[in-house]
Structure 1
Amino acid sequence: MAEFCVAELGTVLGVSSTSAKKLIGHALELRHRLPRLWAQVQAGCVPAWRARSVAETTIHSTPSLTREAAGFVDAQVAAVAGRIGPAQLDRLVAETIKRYDLADPDPAADPEDGYLSVDPRHATLHDEDVHFAGTMRFEAELDIADALDLDRELAHHAAQQKALGSTESLDVRRSKALGDLARTQTALDLAMSGGVEARSARTPATDGDHLPVAREVVIHAHFDAGSVGEQTVFGPTGRLEEGQRLVLLDQVRYWCGDSRTKVTVKPVIDLNTELSTPAYAIPDRIRDQVILRDRTCVFPFCTRPARGCDVDHVVEYDHHAEADGRPQPGPTASRNLACLCRFHHRLKTHCDCASGHPLWVARRSGAVQSGVGVLV
């Protein structure tokens, strides 16, 4: 299979390259490792999306399922996949995988190892599901001792917050305590360095000045700004680049309220102004303008954020044009630059089918955008 055919398939189907890659992976998993379920799909007894859900689980199961384990799941699930609901199907697949593991088919293995061969511990941030209040769900499965210790520590921090005057609910205080605990642990080693004498010389009032920044989390928030008299007034809502989501001004104020937070305010960049340079290297100001203009990779249906993409010359820059006395065909200018994720940048560079194709014309916003970027 050609490396870049995934992008072509995705473009034809009207989906991203990542979605096309998943589609190919699910088809291969069903055809070769879940043949009974594949036959049910071919017969019209099981919807394709349900079969793909099973394939997604068997592909990404940890540890990886052997061919025999996938066959066991196939035998248990195929007959009923079209007659039960999605939630019940998910539970059935998970239970089937667990039963295969507990069956311990290897007769030479220790009988007790079957119950411990899969370690269920994990800590997962579900960043694809962001609540409108600006929260994310963090799920974890811990060792019993670790879980009890963490619960005791969260209860202690929540009680401290209440004693200091917090009127928030217990759940909110425990949630805040978990974030405070994470930041404290990040800075613990550096904060305690310097020997006993250095630590004893500090006082509670000045100890915070010696603490390093516990973490560096960078967010890019954009707000419309207007002038009322001599004051600058920001709109109540803005755009958060991370996840391409809306963000409230009050939320950013809360995030910036910590005295140890570093805030950088960048000047306004007019996205309709043509910026250029005679050199091949792209200056930061032009790079920021292209990133703010495109927002995502410009390849059709790709949603990779522009902040993590390469800024590419749409028409190739000719390094010998000036020496030969020829005009530069691919200038380093706003109109000739576009954001491409690394996969699609490689496709454009190394695949002949992409050369000069109209798909590579960068999208233009067309609207004047104003505001400032706040880096927290």
Structure 2
Amino acid sequence: MVEALAQAEEVIAVCADTAAWALPEHELIAALDTAHRVEQRLAAVKLDLIRELDGRGIARAHGASSTTVWLRERLHLTVTAARRLVDLAVTLDTGNPAVRQALLDATITVEQARVIADAAATVSTTAGTEIADKAIGVLVDWAGQFDPTLLRRMATRILDHVAPEVADATAEAALRAEEARAVRDRHVTISSQSDGRLRLSGVLDVEAAALLRAALDPLTAPSGPDDTRTAGQRRHDGLADVCRLALRTSDLPEHGGDPTQIVITTDYDALTRQLRAGTLDTGLQLTPGAVRRLACDAAIIPAVLNSAGQPLDVGRQRRLITGPLRRALVLRDRGCAFPSCDRPPRWCDAHHIQHWADGGSTSIANAVLLCAHHHRLLHHSDWTVRLTNDGHPEFVPPAWLDPQQLPRRNHYHRRT
């Protein structure tokens, strides 16, 4: 298969080098149709490969927490896109060979395949596999006329066409299935931009949407006739207010032994005299004014750093890595230190490099931040971690994964 795909890649490269402007209209349209068919057939092959990778557990063998996370890193996808690929690959493999074949034949698109597979699963549950097969046939035919949005809308009433005698009885089940899909597809994506801002996107289920609206609506009304903010800006400010209100309560769960908090590092003189910016635990910077504003409602904790800016051992001789020692660890690692992991500090545990039970000290020289998955991995695999001469952790993979066992570092948290 690899050789055949490599040959296809070479042919596509030749097509890419061909000037589209020189094609007559009929050839231009024919080329577009052919490229579209090839794209769908390649998508079917890609889904087969993903399903096989997932079935073998290759992602976990390589240290990833799931196939979704592994695909995100390997193919540079968003988490949402990777998860949708894995879900569709499993769905087509486990009960929809006709949908898979239609995709291979390029008579449907990937998005249409997802719609048809969802509808078939609902019909199969409520009316049986025989009627589900009929539904697939009808929907595949309709896919030649309707886009995925219209196709999904029509799929909700597919039983009216293939089994009207049971359509009414299964309408309620279809609604329950739609609710289940809404729960499955719920997500919020937070994407960091180069200047420190965040881009939010996602889909909320009905309950979460109602809660968000109930929390935001009182905070998004114009503050007066002189309020020049747009509706989007008011929603932004309202969301920030919700977060501030939540942080002021004592109801939020603790993270690694500390209450929920924002950690900002700045020089004392810079803080009092507004000389320089402050640094968040994510590595991003805030203006002096923003630091002083946040400091009005914050605990100011002194820390001693060496000439290279590395936090020194705070000397806490205790079993748990909490308080000042954890804050020093956050300043150093900025998040899960395992290679390529993007988990932030609040999602991480402090791991003793030399186990406490083996005489390891509770100090910054014997600790590393790890997310729950990679913390378990370090305890139950041949991966090892050590601190280098510059005071940062590096990880040595097992020989079966890398015969040379070249040390690896996490560069994700230091991109800025």
Cα distance, 1:158 vs. partner? Answer: 3.1
The question of whether the paired residues in 2 share the 8 Å contact of 1:314 and 1:338 is answered with yes
What is the match of residue 370 of structure 2? 340
**1:135 and 1:79 mapped to 2: Cα distance?**
39
**2:243 and 2:167 mapped to 1: Cα distance?**
44
**1:97 and 1:254 mapped to 2: Cα distance?**
56
Structure with greater strand percent: 1
TM-score of the superposed pair, with normalisation by structure 2? 0.49
- Structure 2 unaligned residues grouped into runs of 5+: 1-53, 74-81, 253-258, 386-394, 399-406
**2:339 and 2:123 mapped to 1: Cα distance?**
33
What is the match of residue 35 of structure 1? 97
**2:261 and 2:86 mapped to 1: Cα distance?**
34
Shift in CA distance, 140/74, structure 1 to aligned 2, threshold 3 Å: same
Count of aligned pairs: 309
* Equivalent of 1:295 in 322, 329, 334: 334
Q: Does 1:267 align with 2:305?
A: no
**1:2 and 1:171 mapped to 2: Cα distance?**
44
**2:331 and 2:289 mapped to 1: Cα distance?**
22
**1:2 and 1:111 mapped to 2: Cα distance?**
33
The question of whether the paired residues in 1 share the 8 Å contact of 2:189 and 2:200 is answered with yes
**2:137 and 2:290 mapped to 1: Cα distance?**
52
For residues 130-175 of structure 1, the C-alpha deviation after alignment (integer angstroms, 9 at most, x for no partner) is 78766746877879xx99x97xx9599736x225x43434554576
| Matched residue SS, 2:166 | coil
Aligned CA-pair RMSD: 6.1
- Structure 1 unaligned residues grouped into runs of 5+: 187-211, 320-327, 369-376
| Matched residue SS, 1:38 | helix
| Matched residue SS, 1:312 | strand
Cα distance, 1:234 vs. partner? Answer: 3.1
What is the match of residue 61 of structure 2? 8
| Matched residue SS, 1:220 | coil
What is the match of residue 318 of structure 1? 357
What is the match of residue 195 of structure 1? none
Shift in CA distance, 6/137, structure 1 to aligned 2, threshold 3 Å: closer
For residues 57-93 of structure 1, the C-alpha deviation after alignment (integer angstroms, 9 at most, x for no partner) is 968x999994969878865776898x99xxx965356
What is the match of residue 98 of structure 1? 156
**1:129 and 1:64 mapped to 2: Cα distance?**
37
Amino acid at match of 2:370: L
Higher RCO (C-alpha 8 Å, min separation 6) = 1
Amino acid at match of 1:306: P
Structure with greater helix percent: 2
Amino acid at match of 1:95: R
For residues 332-371 of structure 1, the C-alpha deviation after alignment (integer angstroms, 9 at most, x for no partner) is 33233222222222233234x4468714978488x99xxx
What is the match of residue 229 of structure 2? 168
Query: Identity of counterpart residues, as a percentage?
Result: 16
| Matched residue SS, 1:311 | strand
Q: Does 1:233 align with 2:284?
A: no
**1:355 and 1:229 mapped to 2: Cα distance?**
40
**2:55 and 2:292 mapped to 1: Cα distance?**
49
The question of whether the paired residues in 2 share the 8 Å contact of 1:183 and 1:215 is answered with no
Shift in CA distance, 345/268, structure 1 to aligned 2, threshold 3 Å: same
